[in-house]
Amino acid sequence: MLVKVSVIIPVYNVEQYIHQCIDSVRAQTLPEIEIILVDDGSPDGCGEICDQYARLDARIKVIHKVNGGLMSAWKAGTGIATGQYIGFVDSDDWIDRDMYEKLYAKASQHQADIVSCGLIKEGTNHSELSQIHMPGGLYCQTDIRTKIYPSLINNGTYLGRGISPNRVTKIYSSQIVHDNLQYCSEDVGFGEDLLLTFSGILDAKQIYILEDFRPYHYRTNPASITGSYNPHSWQDILKLNHNLLFIAQEKNVYNFEKQIASDLLSLSLIAIGNEFHSNNTKTNAEKVVAIKNICLHQQMVKNLQIIDVSKFNSSKRVQLWLITHQCFWTIFLVRRFIYCYHLLKIKYNSVQ
């Protein structure tokens, strides 16, 4: 059987969701797929569940490996993928039956290197449609340069990316993936999708965007703001920034320097917000020191001098103004207020 799409599913500690995920991929209306389940050393029963599915469906391959993180799981999966195109699904999400049939149809019709669609964020009590900022249709190489590159990393707004970096809403030609895995560093623990999508788009000759098609269901945890403190958040963001600059310089097809600088300003606010997760045991004074270290980083100081943030929303502009003027305790108080507001909003929504 000619495999049209290899679907790679990294699996780790998702026993309560994995059946819905795998069943949705098995039910695809495109029959010529292979499903690669990468058990990334999952400590629960996911490994055995993967093996059970492999016995049921000849299209399923299973890899069991020592835990190495998301990027290493991707690489393990792509190492045995035989499809013309490669897609990814996270093991706690699910997809509509016609997702890969429609993506592959556009890829085949237009010889596209990448086909992209949208997603739906699925909360406990509500769903939210993702925004698709680029008009739908086919983008040839000239269009990619003139219409996609200028806002690929940042369009001048907070986290304003022209094309969503999500790997799960795309299929990539096998050649694009294999040529660009070298840029997907396993040391990067934040924004991994962006490394593959950014480097892949810089190589692409044809891209097709499905504007009003959202077959991917991304499961969100509305309570995540109260936990999940990452002590390495800022360092992970700096690694991502470094890798984006390296890719841009290596490919040398467009000047992305200001976009990458603007993106770092956006991500710095995420790093500051990380300090307020409930399982962060630092004292308030220690949190202020952490905020100060972010604000005074040499790359931040440089970027604040060269980037126009007038298109950021007012809240973000105020925070960046406070960073520029080194008002560290004021930043702390503002972000603490924002955190408490969101926490109250979550509790209010949970009782509705």
pLDDT tens digits, one per residue of 119-177? 999 987 778 898 888 999 999 999 999 999 999 999 999 999 989 999 999 999 999 99
Distance CA 260, CA 241 (A): 7
User: What are the φ/ψ torsions at residue 138 (nearest 5 degrees)?
Assistant: -90, 135
Ordered domains of the chain (ranges, CATH):
5-219 (3.90.550.10), 224-350 (no CATH)
pLDDT of residue 1: 77
Burial 267-303 (b: 16+ CB within 10 A, else e): bbbebbbbbbbeebeeeeeebbebbbebbebeebeeb
What is the β-pairing status of strands 114-116 and 170-173?
A: antiparallel
Which range, 116-130, 211-225, 231-245, is most confident? 231-245
Query: What's the chain's Rg over C-alpha atoms?
Result: 21
Contact by Cβ (8 Å): 262, 152: no
Q: Which residue has the higher pLDDT, 338 or 205?
A: 205
Distance CA 20, CA 347 (A): 28
Inform me whether the pLDDT recorded for 348 exceeds 80: no
Distance of CA 256 to the CA centre of its chain: 19
Distance CA 205, CA 183 (A): 19
- 291 contacts: CB under 8 Å, gap ≥ 6: 272, 275, 328, 331, 332, 335
Mean pLDDT of 226-253: 91
pLDDT of residue 350: 56
Contact by Cβ (8 Å): 23, 49: no
- At 178 the three-state DSSP class reads helix
pLDDT tens digits, one per residue of 77-127? 999 999 999 999 999 999 999 999 999 999 999 999 999 999 999 987 778
Neighbours of 142 (CB within 10 A): 8
Residues forming beta bridges with residue 115, ordered by sequence position = 171, 208
pLDDT of residue 304: 94
E-state strands within 154-310: 170-173, 207-209, 216-219
Mean pLDDT of 24-38: 98
Inform me whether the pLDDT recorded for 226 exceeds 60: no
Neighbours of 309 (CB within 10 A): 20
pLDDT of residue 228: 80
Mean pLDDT of 273-290: 92
